[in-house]
Structure 1
Amino acid sequence: MPIAPPGKTQCNVYLPIELVTAAKHAAIDSGESLSTFVEHAIRGRLETLAKEQSR
């Protein structure tokens, strides 16, 4: 079992197969790991929600 980098933890989620496939391809195309790609996607969504809630 791989050891997580400091300050990170593993999180298992269930997603539609086509979404995972698209995310994997997008991560490769952008030169990122899947983990980094998903992290950026989640951070972006959280920022959007925070902006919407502050209005």
Structure 2
Amino acid sequence: MILGRAELLGDEEAARVIREQVKRINEYITQLDRGWVESRKVRKFLRRHDKD
């Protein structure tokens, strides 16, 4: 949605900057998703191997 609006600005430089920022945000989200999945796996492992 943001990318589409950026293209409609008619300002190629502004659209380029917005595209770059959207790409960075998507990369951050991907990293957070991977971290969440990994932390979930670790929690599951710890629960299975809890000696209490």
What's the TM-score, normalizing by structure 2? 0.47
Q: Which has the higher contact order (CA 8 A, sep 6+)?
A: 2
The structure richer in helix per residue is: 2
Larger Cα-atom Rg? 2
What's the TM-score, normalizing by structure 1? 0.45
